[in-house]
Every structure is written in C-alpha cells, then in structure tokens.
Amino acid sequence: MYCRNCGKEIPDGSSFCPECGASQRDDVQVQNVRTVESKTNTKSIVGLVISLIGLLIFSSLILGPVGAIVSYFGYKECKERNENGSVLAILGMIIGGIAFLAGLYIQAMSSYYYW
C-alpha cells in the first residue's frame, strides 16, 4: 500500500506512515473514537456532586432538587453529544431525589417534635 499523505510505499495494514507519520486510518473513525474515549459531561459530574452534598449536609430541600435538575440536563447532553457520564447523571438524579425526600422527612420530624 501507499501512504495517503506522502505517497511512499509502506507495509500493508500500517496504521501510521513510517516516513511522514500520517495516520492511514479513516479520519472520521479516529475522530469518533476520540470523542467516546475522552469527553465526560461536566453537568453530570456537577449534578452528582451537588446531590451528594445535599445528601450529606441535609439542607437537602434545596440542594437535592438542584442536583437532580443539573444531573437531568447532564443526562440529556450525554445523549445529544454522545459523551460519557450518563451513569453519573442517573446516579445524581437518584441521590438528589433521596436527598430531597430525606430533607422532607427530617423537616416533618423536627416540626413534629417542636409541636
């Protein structure tokens, strides 16, 4: 076979030209692999972190839903852009929901005691 870039003869099945270093693979395929490998959606991570904080410090009535909403948008972006992080986003939504319910429960309990 011949190099796509410089036209020199190179061994059959080579991924890169030994002469000029140009990739011999399909450019589109290489780009797709790169996107799948590297990108993790930022909102998925942020949403999960907010939900976790909401669960840990129990001011969950605000942080839980905020974390779940950010996670939801992160999940949508993962699907649209084919990015990593949809599992993190789902976790963020679940934990955000639990944090919110825990917050409601704690508030109900404390108002019960104060009455």
Give the footprint of Zn ion on this chain (CB under 5 A).
Answer: 3, 5-6, 17, 19-20, 22
Rounded Cα distance between 88 and 40, Å, is: 10
CB of 3 to Zn ion, least distance (A): 3
Angle at Cα 89 formed by Cα 84 and Cα 94, nearest 5°? 150
CB of 27 to Zn ion, least distance (A): 15
- Which is closer to Zn ion, CB of 1 or CB of 20? 20
CB of 4 to Zn ion, least distance (A): 7
